[in-house]
Amino acid sequence: MSPRVMRAMASPVLSHLDPEFLGLMDDLRAGLARVFCAPAGSLALAISGTGTSGMEAAVANLVQRGTRVLAIVSGYFGDRLAEMCARYGADVRRLDVEWGRAVDPDDVRKALETSAADIVCVVHAETSTGVLNPVEAVARIAHEGGALVVVDAVTSLGGMPLDVAGWDLDAVYSCSQKGLGAPSGLAPVCFAPRALAKRVTCRSFYFDLSLLEDYWVRRKYHHTMSSSLVYALAEAVAMVEEEGLAARWARHEGNHRAFVDGATRLGLSMLVPEAARLWTLNTVRVPAGVDDAAVRRHLLQRFNIEIGAGLGPLAGQIFRIGLMGHGSTPAHVALCLAALGDALGRGPHA
């Protein structure tokens, strides 16, 4: 997090219905709509909770018993989304994709030709594998069959191109703590007009979009929102807008490419083919014979750098290295590469 966001969090707390706070919520709603590139008539706001609460808000307001869902599962978070739809009573069909690869839009088309769906769910940036899924193409195919598309943008918003209006996405959720660079605790969501029109009776009180709209738009109490988290997210969104979306995406791309170049020079290889790589989350193969936990421990203890382990079928096989938000800088790339080289005995200091 940037010092600016941390300072914003330290501002005096306001009550959840204080007129000044409500004004800040209005500004945040408008800022989030711009960062999502939302079409006119959308509802963008922040759910109180982490990214998973954004996922649950999208599902709880669009899925009811018997809703036919085609869930594209190409990693841990696609699986979570499929499970959440099932818990809300959906008839879920999975389109499983090899971990480390992006979904092929033709496979989505074939799956929908075999059996229609009301909703297609897809994770844009799959954090467990480092893969970018082609959500624009998926949305086009979903709409041809009359389905809505629900998109997990937890690891893309603020770090990689995402265009809700241009790509015609219906319901998109994210988190505060990744590309936007705020602390965790709020989940930006964006419901475009088609999704707003197809809302179901929400079985969750806390995630009921109509009640949330009553609070955010009509100032009616729903829950006691944390002003400290709103200060932080509003400041983070202001910083995104000052930098400009295109410049911010270019910064993430440049630092990602510099990281991949350096990792390649260290003799490391990436899990994901170049065209489908995330700029926010780099997945590097653990070299044969290397104990991945020992490397991660070395980075944390010697260099204060925390990287992620592989999940599920990729456990022990990859390192997951985040470069996002305020943390996506050339200095962090250089430090991380030097630390990796040190841990692996391959760097200039080895």
Distance separating alpha carbons of residues 249 and 273, to the nearest angstrom: 20
Name 188's bridge partners.
Answer: 46
Distance separating alpha carbons of residues 307 and 300, to the nearest angstrom: 8
CB of 49: closest distance to ligand PLP in angstroms? 7
Nearer to ligand PLP, 15 or 184 (CB): 184
Distance separating alpha carbons of residues 168 and 302, to the nearest angstrom: 46
CB of 313: closest distance to ligand PLP in angstroms? 17
CB of 201: closest distance to ligand PLP in angstroms? 25
Question: Is position 127 an interface residue for ligand PLP (rule: CB under 6 A)?
Answer: yes
DSSP-derived letter for residue 312 is G
Nearer to ligand PLP, 42 or 127 (CB): 127
* Pair 222, 210: CB distance under 8 Å: no
User: Phi and psi of 322, rounded to 5°?
Assistant: -80, 135
Nearer to ligand PLP, 97 or 343 (CB): 97
Token couple for 185: 């605790």
Question: Is position 154 an interface residue for ligand PLP (rule: CB under 6 A)?
Answer: yes
Collapse the DSSP code of 145 into the 3-class scheme (helix H, G, I; strand E, B; otherwise coil) and give the result: coil
Sequence-distant (6+) residues with CB within 8 A of 23 are: none
* Pair 186, 71: CB distance under 8 Å: no
Please give the torsion angle defined by the CA atoms of residues 49, 52, 54 and 60, in that order, rounded to the nearest 10 degrees. Answer: -110
Question: Is position 152 an interface residue for ligand PLP (rule: CB under 6 A)?
Answer: yes
Nearer to ligand PLP, 17 or 315 (CB): 315
Binding positions for ligand PLP, 1-40, rule CB under 6 A? none
275: exposed, middle or buried (C-beta count within 10 Å: 0-12, 13-18, 19+)? exposed
CB of 189: closest distance to ligand PLP in angstroms? 12
Collapse the DSSP code of 315 into the 3-class scheme (helix H, G, I; strand E, B; otherwise coil) and give the result: coil
Span of 147-155, 190-198, 292-300, 307-315 interacting with ligand PLP by CB under 6 A: 147-155
User: Phi and psi of 122, rounded to 5°?
Assistant: -150, 145
CB of 18: closest distance to ligand PLP in angstroms? 27
CB of 179: closest distance to ligand PLP in angstroms? 11
CB of 229: closest distance to ligand PLP in angstroms? 13
Binding mask 246-285 for ligand PLP (x = CB under 6 A): ----------------------------------------
Question: Is position 155 an interface residue for ligand PLP (rule: CB under 6 A)?
Answer: yes
Total interface residues for ligand PLP by CB under 6 A: 12
User: CA angle, 161 as apex, 159 and 163 as ends, to 5°?
Assistant: 125
- Contact with ligand PLP (CB under 6 A) among 15, 184, 224, 264: 184
Binding mask 39-78 for ligand PLP (x = CB under 6 A): -----------xxx--x---------------------x-
CB of 250: closest distance to ligand PLP in angstroms? 22
Question: Is position 123 an interface residue for ligand PLP (rule: CB under 6 A)?
Answer: yes
Nearer to ligand PLP, 38 or 47 (CB): 47
Q: Which residue is nearest to ligand PLP (CB)?
A: 51
Rg (CA), the chain: 20
Span of 37-45, 151-159, 211-219, 264-272 interacting with ligand PLP by CB under 6 A: 151-159
Angle 105-114/135-144 helices, nearest 10 degrees?
A: 20
Distance separating alpha carbons of residues 277 and 23, to the nearest angstrom: 39
Q: Which residues bind ligand PLP (CB under 6 A)?
A: 50-52, 55, 77, 123, 127, 152, 154-155, 175, 184
